[in-house]
């Protein structure tokens, strides 16, 4: 991956929507799908990956071909006991935030 200097891990990908993301707790904990197609790597793995300083880069391509992105300087997900709570910190930059507002 070469985006913003590379070194990123894909945690979710939806290419064509053929895989249902309507899943239970266990599926989201352990992950599902295929890395070559639609995938969710699993909250447990995301927790482990974000124990150290991690950044989050979100990229969305709209049906008209426009790509929007947002970059968060600090990103972590708590463990299962903490219900895999998402934490974002630091300034966010990009074009996605101008279109939607994430509320946690």
Q: Which two tokens stand for residue 38?
A: 């639609």
Are 95 and 69 in contact, with CB atoms under 8 Å apart?
yes
- The hierarchical CATH code for the domain 10-94 is 3.90.215.10
Please work out, in degrees rounded to the nearest 5, the angle formed at the alpha carbon of residue 81 by the alpha carbons of 42 and 101.
Answer: 60
Write out the chain's pLDDT in tens, 104 residues. 678 888 889 999 998 889 999 999 999 999 999 988 999 999 999 999 999 989 999 999 888 899 999 999 999 999 999 999 999 988 889 998 766 554 44
CA gap 64, 100 in Å, rounded? 17
Nearest to 77 by CA among 39, 104, 42, 51: 51
| Ranges of each domain in the chain | 10-94
């Amino acid at each position: 991956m070469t985006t913003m200097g590379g070194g990123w891990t894909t945690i979710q990908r939806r290419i064509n929507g053929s895989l249902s993301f309507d899943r239970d707790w266990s599926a989201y904990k352990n992950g599902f799908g295929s890395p070559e197609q639609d995938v969710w790597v699993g909250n447990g793995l995301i927790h482990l990956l974000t124990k150290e300083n991690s950044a989050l880069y979100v990229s969305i391509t709209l049906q008209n071909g426009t790509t929007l992105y947002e970059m968060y300087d600090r990103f972590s997900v708590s463990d299962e006991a903490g219900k895999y709570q998402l934490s974002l910190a630091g300034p966010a930059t990009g074009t996605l935030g101008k279109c939607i507002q994430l509320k946690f």
